[in-house]
Structure 1
Amino acid sequence: MADQPPQDSLLKQRLRTIIFGTDTPAGKAFDISLMVAIVASIVLISLDTIGSLSDAYGEYFIIGEWFFTILFTIEYLLRLYCSQNRLHYARSFFGVVDLLSILPSYLALIFPAANFALAIRVLRLFRVFRVLKLLRFLADGNLLLKAMMQSSRKVFVFFFSVTLIILVLSVVMYVIEGPQNGFSSIPKSMYWTIVTITTVGYGDITPQTPLGQIIASLTMLIGYSIIAIPTGILTAEISHEMVKVRDLRKCSNCGKKGHDNDAQFCNHCGSELEALASLTQP
Structure 2
Amino acid sequence: MEELQRQVRLLYTGRSKRARRFRYGLIGFDALTILYFIVTASLPVSAWMTGLNAALGLLILLDFTARLWISENRRRELTQVYTLADLAVVGSLLLAPFFAANLAFLRILRGLRLIHSYHLLRDLRRESVLFRRHEDAILATVHLFVFVFVTTSLVFVLAFEEHAGPAAYVDALYFTVATLTTTGFGDITMTTPGGKLLSVFIMVVGVALFVRLARAMFQPSKIKYKCPSCGLNRHDPDAIHCKHCGEPLKIETEGVNGD
TM-score by length of 1: 0.45
Over alpha carbons, which structure has the higher Rg?
Answer: 1
More RCO (CA 8 Å, sep 6+): 2
Which has the larger helix fraction? 1
TM-score by length of 2: 0.49
